[in-house]
Structure 1
Amino acid sequence: MVVDPIVMVLTAMLIGQTVLSVPMLMINKKTRVYRLPLMLFLTACGVLALNVIVPHLFPSWYQAYTVIGFPMLFVLCPTLRLYIAGLTEQRQEAFSKADLNAFILLWPAMAVSVAIGALPPEQHSALFVSDEDPSGLYSSILAGIMLVLMCLWLIECSVTLAVIMKRLLAFKRQLKNHYSNLDDRRLYTTRRLVFAAICIWIFALFSVSISNLLGQALLTLRAEVFTALILIWCVTFFAMQHTPMLPVGLAREKIEHAVEGLDATKHKTTPDKYRKSALSGEQSARIVDKITRVMRDKKLYMDANLTLKKLADASGVSPNYLSQTLNETLRVNFFDFVNQWRIEASKSELLTSADSVLKIALDVGFNARSSFYKAFKKETGVTPGEFRKQHARQTCE
Structure 2
Amino acid sequence: MFDTFSTIAYAIATGSIGFALAMALTHSGQRSDRVLFFCMLLTALLAHVLGQLLIVSGLYRLAPHLVGADLAIKTLLGPAVFFYTRALVSSDKPGFGGLDWMALVGPALVILVSLPFAGLSAEEKLALADPATRNPDHYRIAIFTCTASLAIFLASTALYLVAALRLQLKHRRDMMAQFANIERRSLDWLRNLLFVFAAAWLFFAVKQALWVSGASIPAFNITLAFTESLAIAALAYLGMRQPDLTSDPASKAMTPARRPILSEQRMDRTAAKLVDALNTNRLYADSDLSLRKVSDITGVTKNHISETLSQHLGVNFFDFVNSHRTAEAKRLLAETDLSILEVGLEVGFNSRSTFNAAFKKHVGSPPSTYRKHIRNAPSNDAAKSDRVSMTTSE
Shorter-chain TM-score category?
A: 0.7 to 0.9
Q: Which runs of 5+ in 1 are unaligned?
A: 258-270
- Per-residue deviation at 1:247? 0.8
The match for 1:62 is 64
Give, in whole Å, the separation in 1 of the partners of 2:359 and 2:50: 52
Change (3 A) 1:329 1:112: same
Alpha-carbon distance, 1:109 to partner: 1.6
Counterpart in 2 of 1:327? 310
What is the rounded CA distance, in whole Å, between the counterparts of 2:299 and 2:118 in structure 1? 66
For the 8 Å contact 1:112–1:142, the answer to whether it is kept is no
What is the number of equivalent residue pairs in this alignment? Answer: 371
1:203 equivalent in alignment to 2:204: no
Flag the 1:170–1:23 CA change in 2: closer, same or farther, 3 A: same
Counterpart of 1:337?
320
The offset of 1:26, in angstroms, is: 2.9
CA distance in 1, matches of 2:362, 2:107: 49
User: Equivalent residue for 2:171?
Assistant: 171
Pairing of 1:50-89 with structure 2 (within 5 A):
50-51=50-51, 52-53=53-54, 56-57=58-59, 59=61, 61-63=63-65, 65-66=66-67, 68-89=69-90
Question: 2:102 — aligned with what?
Answer: 101
Q: Deviations over 1:374-396 (max 9, x none)?
A: 4334334455312454472669x
Per the alignment, in what secondary structure is the counterpart of residue 392 of structure 1? coil
> Alpha carbons of 1:29 and 1:57: their partners in 2 closer, same or farther (altered >3 Å)?
same
Please give the secondary structure, in 1, of the residue aligned with 2:257: helix
What TM-score, normalized to structure 2?
Answer: 0.77
Residue 199 of structure 1 deviates from its aligned partner by 1.7
Secondary structure of the 2:379 match is helix
Q: 1:96 to 1:29 in 2, by over 3 A?
A: farther
1:303 maps onto 2:286 in alignment: yes
Specify the alignment match of 2:388 in structure 1.
none
Q: What residue is the counterpart of 1:216 in the other structure? A: 215
Aligned partners of 1:207 and 1:219 also within 8 Å: no
2:249 is paired with a residue of what secondary structure? Answer: coil
Which residue in the other structure is 1:32 paired with?
A: 32
The one of 291, 301, 318 aligned to 1:318: 301
Q: Alignment partner of 2:245: what SS? A: coil
- Residue 302 (structure 1) shift: 1.9
Q: What is the match of residue 265 of structure 1?
A: none
Deviations 1:259-306 (Å, cap 9, x if unpaired)? xxxxxxxxxxxx8x6248744444433432332332233221121221
SS of equivalent to 1:205: helix
Q: TM-score, normalised by structure 1?
A: 0.76
> 1:316-369: per-residue Cα shift (whole Å, max 9, x none)?
122233222211111011111112222333344445545455444333323334
Judge which range, 156-165 or 17-26, deviates more: 156-165
Identical pairs, percent: 23
User: Structure 2 matches for 1:1-397, cutoff 5 A?
Assistant: 10-27=9-26, 28=28, 30-51=30-51, 52-53=53-54, 56-57=58-59, 59=61, 61-63=63-65, 65-66=66-67, 68-93=69-94, 95-121=96-122, 123-125=124-126, 129-130=129-130, 132=134, 134-135=136-137, 144=144, 146-182=146-182, 184=183, 186=184, 190-209=187-206, 212=209, 215-219=214-218, 223-249=223-249, 274-275=257-258, 278-382=261-365, 383=367, 384-385=370-371, 386-390=373-377, 392=379
SS of the residue 1:329 aligns to: helix
TM-superposed deviation, 1:245: 3.3
AA aligned to 2:64 is Y
The offset of 1:160, in angstroms, is 4.3
After superposition, the CA RMSD in angstroms is: 3.8
Alignment CA distance shift 1:371-1:83 (3 Å): same
Give, in whole Å, the separation in 2 of the partners of 1:349 and 1:48. 53
Q: Which moved more, 1:110-119 or 1:323-332?
A: 110-119
Over 3 Å counting, the alpha-carbon distance change for 1:352 and 1:234 in structure 2 is closer
- Comparing 14-23 with 306-315, greater Cα deviation is found at 14-23
Question: Matched residues in 1 for 2:223 and 2:289: separation?
Answer: 46
